[in-house]
Structure 1
């Protein structure tokens, strides 16, 4: 991947960094040779960021050429809208307050160079702002208000705006930044595209174990990707990549959804795409969707404050109650008595307007069919945890017990199970899904459709081995190629 710093004048970037080429904006805009280049990252350090100025057109044409501009045109537009700058989320607001609370003054200016600040105590805040407004050189201004510190303004700065005492640090920050993005030795010749794999090392129940992550990396590289893991605090780096593969448990009110949204807005191929996350992570939506399309499922009732008395009459006892956004069996409760039903519903409805109630259908195992692009890849039987009615048993002491699993080839699995899974997944999209089903007396029913399904080495890959990972990476490569050619 070629790396360019585009400037209005040579003195706008006097630093020399190995592997980075400095180009004048006029040359980048007018020389037809740049239109033919591929695999280019453009770091736009032009002097004027105004609408239709040189800087604007550098980022605009970079995007049109399939290059990766930083900042993007969308970020440039954000700088021009004060309401967007001041619309900080709760997470950033907490970070601002935590970082600036010790200050005695009522105003503070923060210089951010490639996501870093001279004072290490402001590194987390600098990185958070860089993630929201990805630009190489930034300056943020804060003001202490009655309710606490707030961001008043943020925008890009030129090299001449950097104090002389900061120049040595800027050079160091730039060298670290550029060296961190350079493809690893031996891979630059074969990698056609860059793929970011979002992984959270601190996640208790990740969708893929370490061995599986390494197999995804090898598979991606074998089909033509340079694969790089990124962490939850690196959303600002998405513009560097052609595709995003999320291997962290997803939720709507969560950074995984923000990653998916940002990546889609930047034109990346994304799995899991934001639409799939929205649909799959809410069990209320899934229950309504399956019912509307006539997909067999356990008897289900959407419970609200006015119909709690109907649950026992319509579904009987015991009954299963589910929070709309539950995952890994968390937020899923079996209630066996009328008193327990009343108490549990009261607690759940404090946090959500709707709760999903389903008839209790005990089975020794659940089927899981993994699919991508509408094609089944693997079929698993997830057996219930020992002495428990679910696959996962989360006890009050924090100890987790998980049932055994065995994997079948698609051809070995019951045809009715596979066909039902394909139908259900088709209602969501063409992403990577895991469809959970139960089979009772020959009748197949869909429990739910999961985005971001578990793929662990030694379990889901037991039949296809490395071919499973290559299939998934191959689909992503086809989509990236199609998008680059303008066919998607």
Structure 2
């Protein structure tokens, strides 16, 4: 892969690095040779990245050409977004405080050269900031909040090569050489791969959506259809532009890095599962209740509660009934109430955390159906049985820790009642064409939708029990087809 350093004027590039091509920005934007180049890493060191400037278009067109720009357009936008700056400051708070503990002035600037700083005590901070804001040279400004007694990230900006201090230049050259040699890489994808797939996961997650064996089978299926695969984690946010697709195998939430990864991936043109819209819709039960009702999807009798109406609804639903936090998952944030006193206590507690709460009639069954749907097609069918002597699939203690869960039975989709599959497909189509787990209760011959999950479990030995390796191949064939469609269409194909 060719390495291009794009600058406004090559005379502005004061650093000598072998095996790297220095390209004027105007030439990169207009010369057909660069538009036709099939593989390149583009290090954009233009003086300005402001919207619709030369530097902005270098990164924009690099992405359109299938090159790998640094910084990419999403990073350029992140530099200007205070919400991202605050999130980065909060996420790196401990590292920031440790790194700057000895600084006496109220403000401080850390210069970052491909993730490194000339002072070893700031090395860890520099590396973490580079993972979030991937640009070759950065300046991170910090201010000390006297009231809170701590340092905060005030802003971060890209640095032009011509602005590197004279006494930092040898260090900057060495860090650039190391980066271009690839020594910064921790993982190595297969060189024969057509495309690159990132799998976002958290090895420490107690109730991850895929167990270790399932992750191995995902990799096997991905490689079989031409993907090189790399497992990434929270700190790899800034690297998303290196990939063609992102598969999130970490429990999702809107107030979480998984949602930021999904949004960033879409902005970079990746095929993303779970996509941000599906996360936003599926993780909020108020939205689901509203859309199911509007489209006349059969559901248990449901009411949306708030401070002004909750006292009146119990007559309609009766007791026992079920209360749910809008963003509840894995049986957490879901309570069964038996009488008016319990109702008053639990609703009051839930309304302190959310303006709205879901209430549903209690519909006891020995199991819930889970139909896996991907690309608007059924993928698997499971019966999840209730935990022993409990009304939910998962039984937890008062602190939310899992005590036990029920058994699971996986069936061929073609052996399931046609009405069950029809309901799952109709309901999930209201969300999108992603990967969903559709939860349905069966009472006699009738089916009632409970919820749709955007990040369904796919565990080896459970959801794949019928299809085995074919399940993972089906997943990856859709990923590959969608990447093909994105690469094959558009202005720069």
Same fold (TM over 0.5): yes
Q: Distance in 2 between matches of 1:86 and 1:204?
A: 29
Q: Distance in 2 between matches of 1:124 and 1:395?
A: 39
Q: Distance in 2 between matches of 1:402 and 1:235?
A: 34
> Over residues 379-428 of structure 1, what are the superposed CA-to-partner deviations in whole Å (9 max), with x where a residue is unaligned?
01111111111111112373431111111111011111111100110000
Structure 1 segment 13-412 matched on structure 2, within 5 A: 13-16=15-18, 21-25=20-24, 28-47=28-47, 49=49, 55-76=55-76, 79=79, 81=80, 84=81, 88-90=85-87, 92-93=89-90, 95-96=92-93, 98-99=97-98, 100-119=100-119, 121-123=121-123, 125-147=125-147, 149-160=151-162, 161-162=164-165, 164=167, 167-168=170-171, 171-172=174-175, 175=178, 178-181=182-185, 184=188, 187-189=190-192, 191-396=193-398, 398-412=401-415
Greater Cα shift, 310-319 or 424-433:
310-319
Q: Distance in 2 between matches of 1:13 and 1:252?
A: 43
The runs of 5 or more residues in structure 1 that have no matched partner are: none
> Over residues 54-106 of structure 1, what are the superposed CA-to-partner deviations in whole Å (9 max), with x where a residue is unaligned?
54443233123122211124544555x5xx35873256246356343552211
Conserved? CA contact 1:86–1:153, under 8 Å: no
Indicate the residue corresponding to 1:438 in structure 2.
441
Task: Indicate the SS of the match to 1:88.
Answer: helix
TM-score if structure 1 supplies the norm length?
A: 0.90
Q: Describe the shift of the 1:143–1:320 C-alpha distance in structure 2 as closer, same or farther (beyond 3 A).
A: same
Q: Distance in 1 between matches of 2:47 and 2:87?
A: 33
Conserved? CA contact 1:127–1:233, under 8 Å: no
TM-score if structure 2 supplies the norm length?
A: 0.89
Indicate the residue corresponding to 1:456 in structure 2.
459
The runs of 5 or more residues in structure 2 that have no matched partner are: none
Conserved? CA contact 1:116–1:173, under 8 Å: no
Greater Cα shift, 68-77 or 329-338:
68-77
Structure 1 residue 30: Cα displacement:
4.7
Structure 1 residue 210: Cα displacement:
0.8
Conserved? CA contact 1:39–1:193, under 8 Å: no
Q: Describe the shift of the 1:61–1:365 C-alpha distance in structure 2 as closer, same or farther (beyond 3 A).
A: same
Q: Distance in 2 between matches of 1:434 and 1:457?
A: 16
Conserved? CA contact 1:85–1:151, under 8 Å: no
Task: Indicate the SS of the match to 1:154.
Answer: strand
Q: Describe the shift of the 1:427–1:4 C-alpha distance in structure 2 as closer, same or farther (beyond 3 A).
A: same
Structure 1 residue 236: Cα displacement:
0.6
Conserved? CA contact 1:25–1:58, under 8 Å: no
Task: Indicate the SS of the match to 2:92.
Answer: helix
| Equivalent pairs, count | 480
